[in-house]
Structure formats: C-alpha cells, structure tokens
C-alpha cells in the first residue's frame, strides 16, 4: 500500500510540474502599432499575384507532365512493336519512322504521340 501511495504521489507531481512552468515570463507583450498590422498592399493585389503565380506553375507542370507521358507512351509502343512485329528495312514513315508489319499483314508506324498509324497499301500493278 505504501508503494502505491508513493507511485501516485510521484505521478501527480510529475503531471502538474510542467503546468507550473508553462509561463516563463511575467512581462506583458508590447502593444503593436496599427502600421504593423495593416498590410502594405491591398488584399486584392496579393490574391491576384498568388493566383497568377500558381496558374503559371500549374501550366508548366501540366505541359511537362504531358510531354513526359507522351514520350513514355511512344517509347513503350516502339518497344512492343519491335518485339511483337517485324520491321521493314526498305520502307520508312513520312518523317523517317520505322515501319512495322503486324500479324494481319498491315503496315504501320508509331507517331510522336505513341499511336499506331496504319499506312495505305499502294495499288497492285
């Protein structure tokens, strides 16, 4: 019983000791002048500046993300086509792209967006 009372008294002293030291200074805060509280610029100007800055940043991020995803899609499509389909050495696409032949004997190339563009066959002579 003595141990229990001792433990409870130590725990209560430890619990209330941080509260007694919570205010270390007895001085009152200095009064602030109205000039330090009032903003230097009107609030509308600040809001417009922040909105313009975030919209520019968002536009840059969106265009960069789109370019990265387009390049990743193109690279993936080229890798799949190289493994899955046969490439034609003597035929090139309109901008010098590699032309592939799929299992249905259709010719296509991969454009810069990573999409397959099927080519028309020339008429037989």
Name the band, by pLDDT with cuts 50, 70 and 90, for residue 61: confident
- The answer to whether position 76 is within a domain reads no
The pair of three-digit structure tokens given for residue 11, joined into one six-digit string: 């725990």
The pair of three-digit structure tokens given for residue 92, joined into one six-digit string: 């090139």
Round to whole Å and give the CA distance between 60 and 39: 30
107 and 91 Cβ atoms separated by less than 8 Å: yes
- The answer to whether position 31 is within a domain reads no
Enclosing domain of residue 102? 86-125
Count Cα atoms within 13 angstroms, Cβ side, for 20.
Answer: 6
Round to whole Å and give the CA distance between 21 and 29: 18
- The answer to whether position 46 is within a domain reads no
Q: Look up the pTM and report it.
A: 0.50
pLDDT tens figures, 2-56: 777 876 777 766 665 555 555 555 555 555 555 555 555 556 565 666 656 667 7
- Please give the tally of structural domains in the chain: 1
- The answer to whether position 48 is within a domain reads no
- Look-up of token digits 């592939």: 100
pLDDT tens figures, 67-113: 999 999 999 999 999 898 999 989 899 999 999 999 999 999 999 88
- The answer to whether position 75 is within a domain reads no
- The answer to whether position 40 is within a domain reads no
């Amino acid at each position: 019983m003595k141990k229990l009372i001792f433990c409870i008294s130590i725990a209560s002293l430890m619990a209330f000791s941080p509260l007694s030291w919570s205010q270390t200074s007895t001085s009152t805060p200095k009064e602030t002048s109205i000039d330090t509280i009032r903003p230097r610029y009107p609030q509308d100007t600040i809001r417009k500046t922040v909105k313009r800055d975030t919209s520019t940043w968002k536009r840059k991020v969106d265009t960069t993300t789109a370019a990265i995803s387009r390049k990743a899609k193109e690279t993936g499509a080229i890798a799949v086509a190289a493994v899955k389909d046969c490439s034609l050495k003597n035929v090139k696409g309109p901008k010098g792209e590699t032309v592939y032949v799929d299992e249905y004997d259709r010719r296509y190339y991969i454009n810069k967006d990573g999409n397959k563009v099927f080519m028309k066959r020339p008429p037989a002579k």
